[in-house]
Amino acid sequence: MTEAGVPVVLDLVEAGCKVKATGFGRVELDVPRTLEAIARKSATALVFGTDMPSTRARRPFEPSDIDLIERTLGVALAAKVFWDNPRALYRIRTG
């Protein structure tokens, strides 16, 4: 994906679509800025994923991708991306 696709993704998010926050080595865009834009459209849109095994990526998943999400979105919103949003998407009940 490139910067040219970001407006389309944002329109899809506004319509209720979810976006898997992964594959940062496969995109040609400003990842932090794009994560922020998606989160501004919908705090429930981003869902974390590792993109393992990353066989077609010029850079495979790295643990620093997790840090990037938390650093970009802050602890509270990152918690939604890592835990709350996936639980809601996959209808996982806790407690």
What are the DSSP calls for 15-68, one per residue? TT--EEE--GGG-BS-HHHHHHHHHHH-TTSEEE---TT-TT-SS---THHHHH
Model pLDDT, residue 35: 98
- Is residue 73 assigned to a domain? yes
Model pLDDT, residue 93: 86
Check whether the bond before 53 is cis (ω within 30° of 0). Answer: yes
- Is residue 10 assigned to a domain? yes
- Is residue 19 assigned to a domain? yes
**Residue 29 belongs to what domain range?**
3-89
* Per-residue pLDDT of the chain in tens (95 residues, 90 and over written 9): 999 999 999 999 999 999 999 989 889 999 999 999 999 999 999 999 877 777 777 888 889 999 999 999 999 999 999 999 999 999 998 77
Model pLDDT, residue 68: 96
- Is residue 95 assigned to a domain? no
- Is residue 94 assigned to a domain? no
Number of domains in the chain: 1
